[in-house]
A and B are shown apart, each in its own frame.
Chain A
Amino acid sequence: MHHLVIDRWSRGSSSLHQRDPRAKLATLLAFLIVLSTTRPAAQWAFAAYAILLIVAVNRARLPILGLAGRAALVLPFSATFALLTWWSGDSLRALALAEKSFLSGMAALLLVATTPLTGWTAALESWRVPRMLILVIQFVYRYLFVIAEQAQRMRWAALCRGSHKAGGFRLAAGLVGVLFARSWQRADGIYHAMLARGFRGRFVPAAPPPFRAADVLFFSACLAGCLAVRILL
């Protein structure tokens, strides 16, 4: 199975990759707060936020179109509310809603594309985010591969036996049912393997690297940039 693209991106070596996950998480939070409180009429501010993100993506040496395309996946959800707002006669607010959701998605993606999973989940843990929530994130991430691999093998097996000629809903329903049962079995096996290596309901994180002056500088510069846009435009 192919590596998750974002997982591969997160293993880069740019200056943004090297920043402490806690600094990046704090920056994301600040950006989201500033973005969400920006007035719909401040359209130049949204353009400035986009430019800030493009500069950050460029510094991280990531493909801007690849990241933007993935961030655009949030648009169908926010577009529903944007359309309702537009119909109610507030077109500027509808536009701002779509812009905010896209820029938020882009910023969150930039964090996970420059920080390995263990890094940002450790940062969440250091912020006292409930352990159960972090465990769920980590397991979902791991089991995504398991389920995707199972699904791919079953699809190949079905294709080998001519599923392109006959199948339809009945076949799809059968595959989903078997996929669920097999995924459950596999998840059970993984859990047993974890118990066998001393797992006691908590991933013990490796020690976080020291929070360096460069990380403080990074967060301060990003915060200043966001606030400047928010206040001046």
Chain B
Amino acid sequence: MSRAIQIRGLRYRYPDGTQALNGIDFHLDAGESVALFGANGSGKTTFVMHLNGLLRGEGSIEVCNTTLSDETLEQIRSKVGLVFQDSDEQLFMPTVLEDVAFGPLNLGLSPDDALTRARTVLKRVGMAHALERAPYHLSAGEKKRVAIAGVLAMDPEILVLDEPTTFLDPPTRRDLLTLLRGLPQAKVVVTHDANLARALTTRAVFFDQGRIAGEGDVIELIQRFHWEYS
């Protein structure tokens, strides 16, 4: 099976001196879904910010056999779709349609093609009724769907989801889970939600103080690290 992501020896220190990542080795196979567990501040979000070059640490990062560098940054950002924890950070255009078309326009699609692709993706995530609405006035579940649509519109090969179920009620979580399970992309899911991880992923990686403390089968890892509420 081909590698979607291959990372070796990734280290990152914030400007205030905090060593957030301390020698991470990670891989993701094409079509595979992996959960990232770990306590708050263990380095999970810092790690995923490296996957499309938003943060640049030491070590090597290969995405779809392309090494991340200044020259390949745009190419890699089109392959790795990052869905942020807080949808409000991801939705910045005046209308839902314009927001979803933002990525395709940046990829160089013509305005007509970008809008067509945005409409198609919004229909796919069940938000075709909200094309002209302002994103910041949608419900939390709707915002999450539009945020995912904005990433899917770039046709990525890998989806990175940072705490996708935060702020969502149980029915909306169920709907989101159904949506995510139907997407063919390889997935990296940062989550505290063991149920979501069991339903969506097969493998898990456990972060602790900027290192990988364990990895393996998702159910086995949840038990080994007692990663459930009860």
Using a CB–CB cutoff of 8 Å, the interface residues on chain B facing chain A are 49, 52, 54, 74, 77-78, 81-82, 84, 86, 88-90, 92-95, 98, 101-103, 105-107, 110-112, 114-115, 132, 134, 136-137, 150-151, 154
Contact = CB atoms under 8 A, between A and B. Distances in A.
A131 interface: no
Interface residues of A, number: 29
Given A206-B101, A207-B112, A193 B89 contact: yes
Greatest chain B CB density within 10 A among A1, A193, A204, A205 is at A193
A146 interface: yes
Contacts of B89: 186, 189-190, 192-193
B111 A205 contact: yes
A11 interface: yes
B178 to A, nearest CB: 24
B92 A196 contact: no
Given A11-B132, A141-B94, A196-B52, 8 more contacts: A118-B94, A189-B86, A192-B49, A192-B54, A196-B81, A200-B74, A206-B98, A206-B115
B94 A117 contact: yes
Contacts of A1: 136-137
Nearest to B109: A204
Given A190-B89, A206-B98, A206-B114, A195 B137 contact: no
A198 interface: yes
B88 A146 contact: yes
A199 interface: yes
Interface of A: 1, 3, 7, 11, 116-118, 141-142, 145-146, 149, 186, 189-190, 192-200, 203-207
B188 to A, nearest CB: 14
B136 A145 contact: yes
Contacts of B105: 204, 206
A169 to B, nearest CB: 30
Contact of B111 (A11, A142, A192, A206): A206
